[in-house]
Structure 1
Amino acid sequence: MSVHADMDHCREAIRTGSHSFHAASRLLPASVRDPALALYAFCRLADDSVDEVADKAPAVLRLKDRLDAVYAGRPANVPADRAFARVIEDFDMPRALPEALLEGLAWDAQGRTYADLGALRGYSARVASAVGAMMCVLMRVRDADALARACDLGVAMQLTNIARDVGEDARAGRLYLPTDWFAAAGLEPAAFLANPRPDPVIREMTRRLLAEAQRLYHRSETGIRALPLAARPGIMAARYVYDGIGGEVRRAGFDSVTRRAHTSRGQKLGWLGRAVVQAGMVSLVPRSPVLHARPLDETAFLVAAASDPRPVQGGWSDDVLDVFSQLAAQDRHMDGGRARPI
């Protein structure tokens, strides 16, 4: 298929699969928008291929093989993989960034829970900040401070997603709320998963997630001025659109168990307009020292990988390979929750 046909496929995947990103991407310059859509299509379809199947381990292992093939210059014969391979070649995309994303998906396949907020930020770094760092690479931005703030934005977005989906995740047997919060409240995670209810304890946990997201949204704004002028409205729009989802959760009294926050087309258009205005004012505001704040401990490895101007083609890290080894063992011995004969 042609390059144009592959891109049409990526655009359609994002248009139907991620309304928030699709809305924000309309404000990106074409030089960034098309590779961003290719990147996001690969990431979104990768996430869906794991999230939408019961047997997640084989799905993640197939993704590992697909990423290996992309970096070997032999992408699978599907539009998203072909388009992503072109992005990798054109932008010298450090391999550690998409590898981090797949590691986060592998954690999902393992059914990991997170002991505290720091561990949850570590998960968010992989499934969201890795994408933010890759977006910076697409803008030819390798400045460590700008990358750190992009990673802040990624963690904020993911925490917002988790806060929005508390009930949906619980009904699917997934728990992302920090388990030490349950211990402090005298509540058993298993009891919540068995009977998810928006009691005051769960609402308070949701509030705390959104408070951390809010802190990181504000930190992320200081990095906007380090981006190319034409790209600033699109990134600012992403910040407002996702924060707007958190606003809907707040308006629901932090009940994301019995309801799932949605934003309207009118709201998105309003945030896009606000983003254009705010992005135009960024250069007029005095530079904030927050721009130079150290990256979160959980995202520092992404900043280091993306700020290296040399193309990074190395293999999987030992830690990530260990996760995949565990998944392979899980796949060998389990079949739909039943032990396979060995």
Structure 2
Amino acid sequence: MRGSRSFTVASRLFDRETRERAWLLYAWCRRCDDLADDQDHGHALGAQAGAEDRLAIIRQLTTRAFAAEETDDPAFDALGVVALETGLTMRMADDVIAGFALDAAGWRPRSEADLMRYCYHVAGAVGVMMAVVMGVDPQDGDTLDRACDLGLAFQLANIARDIGEDAAAGRCYLPAEWLEQAGIPAGRHMQPAFRPALVPLAARLAGLAREHERAARIGAARLRFRQRWAVLSAAGIYGAIARKVGAAGADAWNTRQATGRIEKLGHVAEAFRQALARPRGLERLPRWNRRELARLAAQAPI
């Protein structure tokens, strides 16, 4: 399927029913992202004028999908199908759409809490939906928390990797407080003079990603074997991206950090071994969690 190669590799490890449902959910996520940013399968951003109108279309079509009404858009119709089959709710989808609303409003994070709230909407909430697609009981709050952790880890890795690309598009997801503490003027973080000061901030993102990845692995242990294998594969692949950004220093954004095919297969093989073992528990869970981030989102609606 078109879009994320990492997702495609990991999703092929699911059993057929889970894989097909995961692809239906992914199709909706991809379509919403493309509509919101006026782009094609995650490529270059289009003109951002009219973002609020595109957001309204996303809300309208999603609402119709959950009402089991035809939308004339295959991706939204796909969401309606998988929602009926698995118990996804409009409230779960609303949490994801709120992330698109933040971007449409030109929002930027002021604090680490703001950053994590954004990551919750655009990826943590997707992790929750994906867990339900995999058969997790929507009332199993602890397992959904761990699924959210995996989404948070993915998004933090993406933000660290894409600092340069986002800057070229006029976006910045580094908290303003972090930039101020590092002595980096707003909007100038990609200038050569400030690259050395930017490196610790990318490492901080990678560290947060690592914390949430570890927590997610605890939840993966509660899944059926093939689902566990797929989730651990994805965790390994995205975790490698975050580690590469952290290790590359000031050169991290000269080229796009990624994992090649052979490297991905290595993570798949390692995940198979991990899926057979019993993970060790964590002494402490990450500071940020699904329920706290949902509370922060409720206090600051878009």
By the TM > 0.5 criterion, same fold?
A: yes
Give deviations 1:155-196, integer Å, cap 9, x for gaps.
Answer: 111000000000000011001001101111222213336x47
1:280 is aligned, of 271, 276, 295, to 276
Equivalent residues of 2:128, 2:148 under 8 A apart: yes
Q: Count how many residue pairs are aligned between Structure 1 and Structure 2.
A: 290
Query: 2:16 maps to which residue?
Result: 30
Matches of 2:54 and 2:247 in 1, distance apart?
37
Report which stretch shifted further, 44-53 or 31-40: 44-53
1:109 matched to 2:101? no
| In 1, Cα distance between equivalents of 2:298 and 2:249 | 43
Aligned partners of 2:211 and 2:286 also within 8 Å: no
Alignment map for 1:43-122 (pairs within 5 Å): 43-51=29-37, 52=39, 53=46, 54-55=48-49, 56-122=51-117
Q: Please list, as runs of the form range in 1=range in 2, the aligned pairs for 1:179-328 lying within 5 A after superposition.
A: 179-192=176-189, 195=191, 199-253=195-249, 255-282=251-278, 285=279, 288=281, 293=285, 296-297=288-289, 299-300=290-291, 323=302
RMSD, matched Cα: 2.4
Contact 2:188/2:194 (CA < 8 Å) preserved in 1? no
Quote the offset at 1:212 in angstroms: 0.8
Q: Per-residue CA shift, 1:7-62, capped at 9, x if unaligned?
A: xxxxxxxx221101001001111121110000011101211222223222221111
Task: Confirm or deny: 8 A CA contact 1:170 1:196 kept in the other structure.
Answer: no
- Cα deviation, residue 319, structure 1: 7.5
Question: Shift in Å at residue 270 of structure 1?
Answer: 0.7
CA drift of 1:301 comes to 7.0
Instruction: Tell me the distance in 2 between the aligned counterparts of 1:112 and 1:242.
Output: 25
Which letter maps to 1:249? V
Tell me whether 1:164 sits opposite 2:161 in the alignment: yes
* Counterpart Cα distance in 2 of 1:318 and 1:73: 27
Q: Deviations over 1:282-302 (max 9, x none)?
A: 3xx45x2569x58834x2178
Secondary structure of residue in 1 paired with 2:68? coil
Distance 2:174 2:193 in 1: 14
In structure 2, stretches of 5+ residues that fail to align are 40-45
TM-aligned CA distance change 1:36 to 1:17, over 3 Å:
same
What fraction of aligned residue pairs are identical, expressed as a percent?
33
CA separation in 2, counterparts of 1:76 and 1:318? 29
In the other structure, the counterpart of 1:17 is 3
Deviation at 1:74, TM superposition (A): 1.1
Q: Distance in 2 between matches of 1:186 and 1:198?
A: 8
Amino acid at match of 1:185: A
- Counterpart residue identity of residue 21, structure 2: P
TM value normalised by structure 2: 0.88
Give the 3 Å change call, closer, same or farther, for CA 70–301 of structure 1 in structure 2.
farther
Q: Specify which of 129, 142, 147 is matched with residue 145 of structure 1.
A: 142
Maintained 8 Å contact 1:197/1:257 = no
Q: Which has the higher contact order (CA 8 A, sep 6+)?
A: 1
